[in-house]
Amino acid sequence: MSANICQPLNKNKKVNKETFVSSLLLQMTLKEKIGQMSQFNNDDKKLKSSIQKGYVGSVLNEVDINTINELQRIATQESRLGIPLLIGRDVIHGFNTIFPIPLGQAASWSTELVETCANIAAIESSSNGVNWTFAPMIDISRDPRWGRMAESLGEDPYLCSTLGVAMVKGFQGENLSDTTSIAACAKHFAGYGASESGRDYNTTNIPENELRNVYLPPFKALADAGVSTFMASFSDLNGVPVTGNSWLLNDVLREEWQYTGPVVSDWGSIPQLVTHGFSVDEKSAAFEACQAGVDMEMASDTYAKNLPSLIKSNNVNIEKVDLMVTRILTLKYDLGLFENTFTQSTPLDEHSNDFHLYVAKKAATKSCVLLKNTNQILPLSTSKITSLAVIGPLADDGYEQLGTWVFDAKINRSITPLQAIKDYVGDSIDVKFSQGLATSRSNNQKDFNEAIQIAISADIAIMILGEEAILSGEAHCRSNIDLPGCQEQLINAIYETGTPIVLVIMAGRPITLEKILPKVDAVLFAWHPGTMGGPAITELLFGEACPSGKLPVTFPRTVGQIPLYYAQKNTGRPASDATFVDINDIEIRAPQTSLGMTSTHLDTHFSPLFPFGFGLSYTQFEYKDINVNMCSVTMGESIEISATISNTGCFDAEEVVQLYIRDLVGSVTRPVKELKGFQRIYLAVGHSKTVVFKVHTDELAFYNRQMKLNTEPGLFNAWIGCNSDTDLKIAFEVILEQ
């Protein structure tokens, strides 16, 4: 065994990072360099021997602290150069404590909460030896058929950018070298959320103007915010798979944005260049990925097998490889791994665990969205109810409420709605429970009668339905986004009893609800709420908390409307209520020109079921007096747009105030509305607040026909309201300097 010539650094000794990394690089053999570019899964049979030889830069999916410390010991004490390992794990919305799925967290519209959740996830995962997460996923997601929408932050570039930056801050902390910080990863760069037909791994065709104006801004925001790593998308982007897309990874990411961190492939995506039909064999795939700028290969070994011969034949320049390895070594330096390689076993104390659960409940509470509340049936009053029927396969399933990507969850910590409701009401209300269905996707109605009987004898039926966790997430896409199985039939059966229905939905995506909305009195959309979903839902149902979540995605009436999003273009013939023609109103043998000739469907209204930003409260908020501090703003300056919001209802509550802007005329057509700001405010009953948004003209910029980012002078409309379908509007003008 060779002696270790790269001993861990003295903590008290200042060492220049560039000098240290370049010195280390000079000592490396070609195989050791390629080793740093290789990420091994933890089940690889050659893992330990490969680490010992210096042929592994990162290990994926190992979370046992003793095993990780042993692997780090081998890397730092038995390999020739003693280079520590990156330990990667999908820490997506929690580690041991599970928070709402990212789409649910996005419904909170709270940067503070999103950052805190990520910070706790970093604390818990880093205490097990993990130092790198593959999150946040900031793909703009406008097709709810796509299973990975659950992992996204929604459909809007501004909201996604803002919350994505907050998540990176939470993971990476104040200093990446802190023992409780982990490296974040901006994924999937880029356009993955536009996969055709909502099918995972599918082709994406996105015009460059749309790519730059919609899909790239969150990635640019995270690059500017100092995210440690990027992940290349699986998908084929405009004919060139991103793993081999030099324009995106080099021209845009490296040259335009000046990003200097490592880019990692997605799982096995380099050899998949062959499957795409982009590369003739794995040697060609290794060449394309390396030339494009993929610094590290996840799980597969295409680099290890093929880069030596590509370098020997001068097809790949060794200087390029050196630069890629430098990025990886620099990340390890920034993480402090050369100084603090090993993880000390420090189990969280009771106080820390209690705080993490408190945040999990707070996150679940603020992420739930109240979609319907007929006759103010919610909140429920314990003084007016003597019996409750709790019905549904998701009412008492601590695992399913956690959602996708929960490999390391402490399932025994998960508190279900049924548990929480029983704990809350105690002996004051008789609570009866029936699953009604064995699972969310069951078509067996054998247990319907039990559910019907308990509903008949109850004052209120709380139905907790939706999707099991496995029905969303990676590779779990759906062509039909109705409630799965025979849940709709179960709702119809309970509706026939005459007992009022409060419907709670747990799901990883928007669900098409138009057919069942008339059958239920209230709908609380809880996403997959995580560990403390039960207590959060219970406190909302009984008025201990007031719903304040807002939709981060548009809810379609039917799957045929997809893709449906608020920031659409106006078109030359926009639909309106005045021009809408229903299929049933068309006369038999009507001439072809009788139908209005607007951009709409004949068999459904053109509007969404629920617009982006929508969410009810138990109180009422009045918006009025929208104003600007100047009618014209000079290019390069800022304008202030304000409105007064009053709580005119009966509950103290929080509201998410939203600012939308439209550029009325542009050198390329602009969306009918774009989110440009939001504020979460608290208002006591009878109180008012003037909310002010300061908007710089740079924030009105877009990519023009020449793909240049600039703001164009002209007229703008601004709206302030409670969702994207608001009509409180004012105009202003952007002018050139006079």
Query: Which positions are catalytic?
Result: 266
d(CA 530, CA 522): 22
Rounded to an integer, what distance in angstroms lies between the CA atom of residue 199 and that of residue 204? 10
Give the bridge partners for 642, in sequence order. 627, 692
CA triple 501-502-505, angle to 5 deg: 125
Helix 318-334 vs helix 17-26: angle between axes, to the nearest 10 degrees? 130
Count other Cβ atoms within 10 Å, centred on residue 150. Answer: 30
Residues with Cβ within 8 Å of 608's Cβ and at least 6 positions away in sequence, in order, are 554, 555, 556, 557, 561, 564, 566
Per the listing, tokens 């205490």 go with 127
Q: Among residues 506, 510, 437, which one has the least CA distance to residue 478? A: 510
Listed in sequence order, the residues at least 6 apart from 210 whose beta carbon sits closer than 8 Å to its beta carbon are none
Give counts: helices (H), strands (E), the chain: 19, 26
Q: What's the rounded Cα separation, in Å, for the pair 573 and 616?
A: 32
CA dihedral 299, 305, 310, 316 (to 10 degrees): 20
E-only strand ranges, 387-543: 387-391, 430-434, 460-466, 501-506, 522-525
DSSP code of residue 302? H
Give the residue from 482, 479, 566 showing the smallest Cα distance to 197.
479
List the beta bridge partners of residue 463: 391, 503
HSE-CB at 136 with a 13 A cutoff on CA atoms is 39
CA distance 330 to 18: 8
Half-sphere exposure of 658 (CA within 13 A, CB side): 29
**Rounded to whole angstroms, how far apart are CA atoms 93 and 100?**
7
* Angle made by CA atoms 526, 528, 529, in degrees to the nearest 5: 70
Element (H, E) at 334: helix 318-334
Render 93-152 in DSSP notation, one character per residue.
SBSSSBPPPHHHHHTTT-HHHHHHHHHHHHHHHHTTT--EE---B------TTSGGGGGS
Residue with the two structure tokens 């004490």: 77
Q: Could you give the CA distance from residue 122 to residue 133 in angstroms, rounded to a whole number?
A: 9
- Three-state DSSP class for 170? helix
Query: Contact 174/115 with Cβ under 8 angstroms?
Result: no
Q: Checking phi first, is residue 403 left (phi over 0); if not, alpha (psi -120 to 50) or beta?
A: left
